[in-house]
Amino acid sequence: MKLDNQEIALPTISTFYGIIIRMYFAPGEHPPPHFHVYYAEYTGTVDIRTCEFIEGNLPRKQTKLVLAWAELHQEELMRDWHLVMKGEEPLKIQPLQ
């Protein structure tokens, strides 16, 4: 299966309830440690350390789901951030169930 450049640069690390969580696969990605969220036409960026949106927005229900998931997986998200900072691919993280 051939991946396009967008998928290679922005791998999906988790998907749940129509929400897609991605992290740039690029050394030197700008701080703070964060991940990107996609839901329908909405997008956002969440700070891993504070589990708060730093950019964009989602509907209220999806925002609550994403932030709850981020708090549950904060250590794994930081692990993935350190991997991408070294140019390594992030690992998948369990979806919210």
User: Sorting pLDDT into bands at 50, 70 and 90, what band is 21?
Assistant: very high
In this predicted structure, the answer to whether residue 6 has a pLDDT above a threshold of 50 is no
User: Sorting pLDDT into bands at 50, 70 and 90, what band is 5?
Assistant: very low
- Prediction pTM value: 0.86
Section 27-53 average pLDDT: 91
Amino acid identity for residue 36 in this structure = H
Cα–Cα distance, 11 to 62 (Å, whole number): 20
The dihedrals phi and psi of 14, each to the nearest 5 degrees, come to -165, 155
Q: What is the pLDDT of residues 50-87, one digit of tens each?
A: 999 999 989 999 999 999 999 999 999 999 999 988 88
Give the CA angle between residues 53, 8, 51 to the nearest 5°. Answer: 15
Domains of the chain, residue spans: 12-85
Residue-level pLDDT at 28: 62
Amino acid identity for residue 2 in this structure = K
**What sign does the dihedral 59-63-64-66 (CA atoms) show?**
positive
